[in-house]
């Protein structure tokens, strides 16, 4: 379980603005207390990646969520979750527990997949950099136009293949975000 030091927790100006906008709380002390309450009483959903690519942790309580930085030192933003795609369920309803378990297992599966793909992506990037460097050297040394075109095509192929792998990684991150939001709605 993730341990957050609530006494040393900072609230960013962005989080304060969003709390004022989304929850109509004007007093900054109340915003700080709300964020700490979400973290203390809420459920840790998991590590998510935002649209910009920044990794963070999501805590949710009720229809409120707090996104905390990777090092658990500051609240980046607060979110209000609406249950547009998930019906309001009573926590005593057996379907509620099944949905929570399903989302939890899917989140774990995607996290493992993301970690393995990230490791593979880093290794592939290193090998690609070596091959591209060798091809650039060959491109520099050769005088044949045919060889130059072949080398340029190979470099383009390597870059396209790597971009496809990066796109697959972004798709997994997007799926994790969607599932994290759904899990937050069920808390």
Q: Are residues 114 and 61 in the same domain?
A: no
Same domain, 180 and 100: yes
pLDDT at 100: 83
Are 99 and 134 within one domain? Answer: yes
pLDDT of residue 99: 83
* Claim to verify: residue 168 and residue 116 sit in the same structural domain: yes
Residue 5 lies in a domain: no
CA distances (Å), origin 23, targets 76, 108, 184: 16, 31, 17
| 4 domain-assigned | no
86 within some domain: no
Same structural domain for residues 119 and 163?
yes
Q: How far apart are the first and last CA of the chain?
A: 17
Measured distance CA(101)–CA(103) in Å, rounded: 6
Q: What is the dihedral of CA 7, 8, 13, 18, to 10 degrees?
A: -50
pLDDT score recorded for residue 121 = 96
Q: Are 109 and 146 in a shared domain?
A: yes
Higher-confidence residue of 182 and 124: namely: 124
> Is residue 46 domain-resident?
yes
Q: Which residue has the higher pLDDT, 126 or 93?
A: 126
Q: Residue 4 has what pLDDT?
A: 85
180 and 106 assigned to the same domain: yes
Specify whether 178 is located in the same domain as 127: yes
In a domain, 3, yes or no: no
Whether pLDDT at 91 is above 70 = no
**Encoded tokens for 11:** 């609230």
Instruction: Kindly state whether residues 52 and 126 are assigned to the same domain.
Output: no
Which residue intervals of 28-144 are DSSP H helices? 28-41, 94-141
- 138 and 174, same domain (yes or no): yes
**174 in the same domain as 134:** yes
Quick check: is 18 in a domain?
yes
60 pLDDT more than 80: yes
- pLDDT tens-digit readout, 128-144: 999 999 999 999 999 99
- Of the residues 52, 80, 108, the one at which a domain ends: 80
**Residue 118: which domain range?**
94-186
- Across 10-14, 15-19, 47-51, 150-154, which has the greatest mean pLDDT? 150-154
The domain boundary residue, chosen from 23, 52, 80: 80
Domain-located, residue 38: yes
Residues 69 and 99 in one domain: no
Percentage, residues of the chain above pLDDT 70: 93
Long-range Cβ pairs for the range 42-46 (8 Å, 24+): 42/66, 42/187, 43/183, 43/187, 44/1, 44/2, 45/107, 45/180, 45/183, 45/184, 45/187, 46/107, 46/111, 46/176, 46/180, 46/183
Domain boundary among 30, 50, 80: 80
pLDDT score for 109:
94
Q: Are 95 and 86 in contact (CB under 8 A)?
A: no
Confidence of residue 87 (pLDDT cuts 50, 70, 90): low
Give the mean model confidence (pLDDT) for residues 97-124: 92
Q: What is the dihedral of CA 11, 175, 126, 146, to 10 degrees?
A: -130
- The token duo for 55 is 């990794």
């Amino acid at each position: 379980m993730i341990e957050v030091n609530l006494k040393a927790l900072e609230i960013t100006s962005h989080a304060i603005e969003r709390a004022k906008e989304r929850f109509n709380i004007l007093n900054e002390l109340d915003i700080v207390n709300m964020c700490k309450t979400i973290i203390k009483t809420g459920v840790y959903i998991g590590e998510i990646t935002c649209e910009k690519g920044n990794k963070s942790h999501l805590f949710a309580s009720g229809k409120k969520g707090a996104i905390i930085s990777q090092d658990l030192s500051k609240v980046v933003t607060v979110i209000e979750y609406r249950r547009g795609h998930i019906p309001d369920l009573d926590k005593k309803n057996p379907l509620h527990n099944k949905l929570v378990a399903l989302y939890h297992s899917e989140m774990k599966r995607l996290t493992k997949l993301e970690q393995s793909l990230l490791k593979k992506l880093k290794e592939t990037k290193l090998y690609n950099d070596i091959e591209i460097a060798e091809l650039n050297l060959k491109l520099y040394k050769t005088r044949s136009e045919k060889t130059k075109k072949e080398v340029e095509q190979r470099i383009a192929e390597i870059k396209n293949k790597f971009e496809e792998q990066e796109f697959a990684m972004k798709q997994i991150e997007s799926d994790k975000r969607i599932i994290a939001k759904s899990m937050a709605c069920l808390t």
